[in-house]
Chain A
């Protein structure tokens, strides 16, 4: 069965520091992988996606993620965090047609000045 694990429930980083959010998935076929961000009271905004091809994916707001098939991982990174990045981050795997999503439980990011 498919599943997504985000091991870190909550992360705190200083503004300007680098960030890495971890995501591991379990799925028998080639995965479609996504990262979404959710601010309080807001819907989900797509940061980036991986369907195929280059395993290093660039997204919006300076985020990037790397697909590593051998580790079943799709970690999200940002070299320098801004206070406005504080939010909840969700990793998702898309099955079947690619857009029936199974989400992780999320990582809450706090940014301190």
Chain B
């Protein structure tokens, strides 16, 4: 049990639509990171939020955006969905900038 939950577990969207994925982390996890894991690949870092501010970003376009809330929940928003956005999206919480990350089970997104 990692203390990190994600919703929904599965989602189907069509190309061009927008999607919001949610992550809830246990109390004390003031840092949250989001990753995209395409089928057969390792997770790729999208961005990280620390105390509700973006604290680093990987090689993803601006249509990937996020929010972190004071109650340790966060959102990943993806606009103008493309077929290649189909993947497992993972969020990870941690209690400090150099502490261990704990991953949620992920949301599997399929874009048709």
Point out residues on A near B: beta carbons under 8 Å: 4, 6, 32, 36, 42-46, 49, 51, 90, 92, 96-106
B13-21, B64-72, B96-104: which lies at the interface? B96-104
Point out residues on B near A: beta carbons under 8 Å: 2, 4, 31, 33, 35, 40-45, 48, 50, 55-56, 58, 90, 92, 94, 97-106
Assess the A104–B90 pair: CB atoms within 8 A: no
Assess the A99–B42 pair: CB atoms within 8 A: no
Which A residues lie within 8 Å of B58 (CB)? 100
Assess the A43–B103 pair: CB atoms within 8 A: yes
Cα distance A46–B48 when bound, in Å? 19
Assess the B98–A44 pair: CB atoms within 8 A: no
Given contacts A45-B103, A99-B92, A101-B92, list 12 more A-B pairs with CB under 8 A.
Answer: A42-B105, A43-B2, A43-B4, A43-B103, A97-B97, A98-B98, A99-B48, A99-B99, A100-B45, A100-B48, A101-B43, A101-B45
Cα distance A24–B56 when bound, in Å? 23
The answer, among A42, A44, A99, A104, for a CB contact under 8 Å with B97, is: A99
The answer, among A46, A90, A102, A105, for a CB contact under 8 Å with B45, is: A102
Assess the B43–A103 pair: CB atoms within 8 A: yes
Cα distance A43–B40 when bound, in Å? 14
Cα distance A13–B42 when bound, in Å? 22
Which A residues lie within 8 Å of B55 (CB)? 97
Closest 7 CB pairs of A and B: A103-B42, A97-B97, A44-B103, A43-B105, A98-B98, A43-B103, A100-B56
Assess the B104–A43 pair: CB atoms within 8 A: yes
Assess the B94–A99 pair: CB atoms within 8 A: yes
23 inter-chain pairs at a CB distance below 8 angstroms, sorted by A residue, are A4-B42, A42-B105, A43-B90, A43-B104, A44-B43, A46-B101, A49-B100, A97-B31, A97-B56, A97-B97, A97-B98, A98-B97, A99-B31, A100-B33, A100-B56, A100-B58, A101-B43, A101-B101, A103-B35, A103-B42, A103-B43, A104-B42, A105-B42
